[in-house]
């Protein structure tokens, strides 16, 4: 027993010494780079980085289709039934969350999560609404503590520890993940039963077996043994596709009020009634009675496109990404940096194992790229040639010179899906309804995805909705 304790102590000592050496090496190099003043010797700026109200801090860092229309029409009908007697306050965050998951459920999973008819909220929606807030509360521990303990013991042992640790946020995260996992297993079992029953059972499903998970499972049967996915890996793919849905709904809620994304798009349009009315006229001009807008028509609507681009520029749902360098690299800056010793440089050596925060918000709001009006919501900027500085910046983002959907091999896999969904839902809703601000004070919280909240941390986006003239 004594020898085991000594061995464990030796391992812990070596690990701590290695961590301290890496931290010291990175600090020795990076301490000469100017940055925001540290609030604490122990935590530095971590509290500001992971704060729900971190918008100003991150901004200052940056300074220096059939399925779509089908689900969208169900949403429109649900809202119409609630406001047909007159204007009414509606929680758009709830309805957009439900719609986004239903769209991804049908298109990606061939599964219907929600009929979008009643006010009854399915358990997974409750989990989805609280997930970003709960996970953001655990951001520091999830990044620096959990990686150290996730491989300790068996899954049953780790579950036992999670259950007995007196940590409310951890227990909330456990319950949320249990709900999401149980739903993923249900979807997998339904798909598996349909495949085993034959082609007729598969074609009778929502997406007629053409959804991503059905195709994956069918091909997996024919794959060689060394390439075949296990059941747990396929269930993992179901969960990834559902996580993609969570990112989409935030883009939609973005448009209707001041600051922050479709929650925000509707939010911003509520603050800019002239822009909302202009969009409504464009939609009605393109729309023929009883006929859905075509894909080509959707892409030819200039004001709709400008509204979406500008919202995604100014209010990216994800403000920053965390990365760890896997090897020593040289970071080349676009402009010279004056170090604390007075010298200037355009190359900063970054040691391996250094934690890096990539500011998507900072790139999208960089005045050197976008001009002095960078903080103004101006869809008109997209109706004329962009400044030469935008092209000269060579922003690596995969979408419209923006970092909203990230860049490279880690870019958002569903950004085209997201754009199409955003435009379709906006066309269906703005044509039929007028959105206005409610009397409740809404703040946007910087969690893993920007979330509107009322009364502190209660995820909600109340807007006044009425039938448009």
pLDDT tens for each residue of 386-428: 999 999 999 999 999 999 998 888 888 778 878 888 898 999 9
What is the average pLDDT score of the chain? 80
**pLDDT value at residue 180:** 79
Q: How is residue 108 annotated by DSSP?
A: I
Do the annotations mark residue 412 as ligand-binding? yes
Most confident of 138-147, 242-251, 407-416: 407-416
Same domain, 249 and 290: yes
Same domain (yes/no): 352, 261: yes
**Structure-block tokens of residue 452:** 């509107």
Are both 213 and 315 inside the same structural domain? yes
Asked whether the beta carbons of 94 and 58 are under 8 A apart, the reply is no
**pTM (global) more than 0.85:** no
Residue 459 and residue 348 share a domain: yes
**pLDDT attached to residue 35:** 61
CATH of the domain at 178: 1.10.630.10
DSSP for residue 293: P
From CA 253, how far away is CA 98, in angstroms rounded?
A: 12
User: Are residues 6 and 62 located together in one domain of the fold?
Assistant: no
φ, ψ for residue 96 (rounded to 5)? -70, -35
Same-domain status, 12 and 80: no
Residues 250 and 384 both lie in one domain: yes
Query: Which tokens belong to 91?
Result: 């929680």
What is the predicted pLDDT for the residue at 388? 95
Report the range of poorest mean pLDDT among 37-41, 276-280, 416-420.
37-41
- Please, which residues have CB within 8 angstroms of residue 362's CB and are 6 or more apart in sequence? 58, 59, 61, 62, 63, 320
Domain that holds residue 15: 1-31
Q: What is the pLDDT of residue 253?
A: 37
Mean pLDDT of 210-220: 77
**Do 129 and 27 have their domain in common?**
no
pLDDT in tens, 179-199: 878 887 888 888 888 888 877
pLDDT in tens, 296-331: 888 899 999 999 999 999 999 888 888 889 999 998
Give the H or E element holding residue 59. Answer: helix 55-63
Distance, C-alpha 158 to centroid of its chain: 28
Q: Do 37 and 21 reside in the same domain of the chain?
A: no
Residues 21 and 36 in one domain: no
- 453 and 357 inside one domain: yes
Cβ(339)–Cβ(29) under 8 Å? Answer: no
Rounded CA-CA distance 323/192 in Å is: 36
| 3-state class (DSSP) for residue 453 | strand
Residues 6+ apart with CB under 8 A from 304: 279, 282, 283, 298, 423, 426, 427
Report the largest interatomic distance among the alpha carbons of the chain, rounded to a whole angstrom: 82
pLDDT attached to residue 233: 78
The 10 Å Cβ neighbour count of residue 428 is: 24
> Which helix (H) or strand (E) segment is 26 a member of?
helix 2-30
Q: How many domains does the chain have?
A: 2
Q: Are residues 177 and 156 in the same domain?
A: yes
């Amino acid at each position: 027993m004594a020898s085991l304790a000594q061995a464990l102590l030796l391992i812990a000592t070596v690990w701590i010494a290695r961590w301290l050496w890496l931290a010291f090496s990175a600090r020795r190099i990076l301490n000469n780079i100017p940055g925001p003043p540290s609030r604490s010797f122990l935590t530095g700026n971590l509290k500001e980085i992971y704060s729900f109200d971190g918008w100003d801090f991150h901004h200052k860092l940056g300074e220096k289709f059939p399925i779509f229309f089908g689900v969208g029409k169900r949403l429109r009908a649900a809202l119409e039934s609630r406001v047909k007697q007159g204007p009414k306050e509606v929680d758009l965050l709830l309805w957009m969350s439900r719609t986004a998951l239903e769209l991804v459920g049908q298109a990606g999973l061939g599964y219907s999560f929600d009929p979008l008819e009643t006010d009854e909220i399915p358990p997974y929606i409750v989990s989805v609404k609280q997930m970003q807030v709960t996970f953001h509360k655990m951001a520091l521990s999830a990044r620096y503590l959990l990686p150290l303990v996730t491989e300790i013991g068996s899954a049953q042992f780790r579950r036992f520890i999670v259950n007995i640790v007196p940590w409310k946020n951890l227990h909330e995260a456990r319950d949320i993940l249990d709900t999401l996992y149980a739903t993923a297993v249900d979807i997998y079992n339904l798909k598996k039963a349909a495949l085993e029953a034959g082609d007729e059972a598969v074609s009778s499903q929502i997406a007629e077996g053409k959804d991503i998970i059905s195709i994956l499972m069918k091909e997996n049967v024919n794959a060689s043994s060394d390439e075949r996915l296990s059941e747990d890996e396929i269930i993992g793919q179901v969960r990834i596709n559902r996580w993609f849905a969570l990112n989409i709904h935030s883009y939609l809620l973005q448009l209707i009020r001041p600051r922050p994304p479709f929650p925000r798009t509707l939010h911003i349009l509520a603050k800019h009634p002239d822009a909302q009315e202009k969009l409504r006229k464009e939609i009605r001009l393109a729309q023929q009675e009883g006929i859905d807008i075509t894909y080509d028509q959707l892409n030819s609507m200039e004001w709709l496109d400008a509204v979406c681009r500008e919202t995604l520029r100014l209010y990216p749902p994800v403000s920053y990404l965390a990365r760890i360098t896997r090897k020593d690299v040289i970071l080349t800056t676009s402009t010279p940096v004056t170090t604390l010793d007075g010298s200037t440089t355009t190359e900063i050596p970054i040691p391996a194992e250094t934690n890096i925060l990539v500011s998507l918000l900072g790139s999208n709001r960089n005045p050197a790229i976008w001009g002095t009006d960078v903080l103004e919501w101006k869809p008109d900027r997209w109706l004329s040639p962009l400044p030469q500085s935008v092209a000269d910046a060579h922003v690596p983002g995969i979408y419209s010179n923006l970092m909203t959907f990230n860049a490279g091999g880690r870019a958002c896999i569903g950004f085209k899906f997201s754009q199409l969904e955003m435009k379709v839902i906006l066309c269906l809703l703005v044509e039929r309804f007028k959105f206005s601000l409610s009397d409740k004070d809404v703040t946007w919280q910087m969690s893993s995805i920007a979330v509107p909240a009322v009364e502190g941390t209660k995820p909600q986006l109340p807007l006044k909705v009425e039938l448009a003239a």
